[in-house]
Amino acid sequence: MTPECWPVYGLRITTPRLVLRLPDLGALEKLAAVAAAGVHGPDEMPFSFPWTDGTPERRARTTFQHVLGTVAGWQPEKWTLSLAVLHEGEVVGRQDITARDFAVTKEAQTGSWLGLAHQNQGLGTEMRAAVTHLAFEGLGARALTSGAMTDNPRSLAVSRKLGYEADGVEVVPVRGEARTVRRLRLDRASWERHRSLPVGLHGLEPCLELFGAERG
Ligand SMILES: CC(C)(COP(=O)(O)OP(=O)(O)OC[C@H]1O[C@@H](n2cnc3c(N)ncnc32)[C@H](O)[C@@H]1OP(=O)(O)O)[C@@H](O)C(=O)NCCC(=O)NCCS
């Protein structure tokens, strides 16, 4: 059931292998379990905010609260869409897209992860292609940004394949150490040149106002 007052629960983005949607409680429980089972090796920390540190139970609760927090805190001037990614009906990871004053800037930023068992099969590329389509085709974005640690070749490869270009670096404190993030930027023209996957958007129209986006 899609709550009438929160139509974002009815939004679906589809690619040849994936469905992306805001998780209801059942899907959120599954997403939390995927996070608990592991997102990266113990010696790695691909995130600027090290939310994966700690026990599996803590990762599960952090994931659960993060997604509900995005719904609770949503404003058209500052939103985060945190989507569960489903492959063959199974929840495999999360794809976020976030923006401040999208109505003015027409820019948004993405972040994502897959459970360890689902990585390196092209799904990360497909889910990012899904939200780039939402942003450019559905919401009328002018540019998207992303970032990855310099030692995260898979995330950097996903961005490169989809047409993102280098946009400088930034040093951030992570677990008390200085880490370098490579910033990346995808403009509409480069997205057009690199898009290769068919992506479907369903149930977007009633959500446009919440994104600060105009009807096309
Ligand atoms: C980053 C992540 C979302 C990417 O998803 P994925 O499904 O694993 O990635 P894909 O399979 O779509 O693409 C990975 C690409 O990296 C390439 N790659 C893999 N290992 C590589 C390496 N060591 N060096 C260079 N390229 C590498 C692959 O060949 C592939 O490119 P190709 O399709 O041209 O062959 C996923 O790996 C993940 O969740 N990692 C842990 C969390 C994380 O890092 N999140 C992002 C934080 S910025």
Q: For residue 58, what is the enclosing H or E element?
A: helix 56-72
- Reported as a pLDDT band with limits 50, 70 and 90, residue 214 is confident
Q: Which two tokens stand for residue 165?
A: 């270009």
Overall pTM surpassing 0.85 (yes/no)? yes
Check pocket membership of 132 for ligand 1, CB cut-off 6 A: no
The number of beta carbons lying within 10 Å of the beta carbon of residue 200 is: 12
Q: In angstroms, what is the span from residue 7 Cα to ligand 1's centroid? A: 32
Q: Which two tokens stand for residue 133?
A: 């389509």
- Reported as a pLDDT band with limits 50, 70 and 90, residue 2 is confident
Q: In angstroms, what is the span from residue 124 Cα to ligand 1's centroid? A: 7
Q: In angstroms, what is the span from residue 153 Cα to ligand 1's centroid? A: 6
- Reported as a pLDDT band with limits 50, 70 and 90, residue 3 is confident
Q: Which two tokens stand for residue 9?
A: 């629960």
Which of the listed residues 154, 158, 159, 182 should we mutate to test ligand 1's pocket, taking the one with most ligand atoms within 8 A of CB? 154
Q: In angstroms, what is the span from residue 158 Cα to ligand 1's centroid? A: 6
The number of beta carbons lying within 10 Å of the beta carbon of residue 93 is: 25
> In the predicted model, what is the mean pLDDT of the chain?
97
Ligand 1 nearest-atom number relative to CA 156: 16
Check pocket membership of 156 for ligand 1, CB cut-off 6 A: no
Taking 80 as the threshold, does the pLDDT of residue 215 lie above it?
no
The C-alpha angle with vertex 158 and arms to 16 and 19, in degrees rounded to 5, equals: 30
Ligand 1 nearest-atom number relative to CA 123: 7
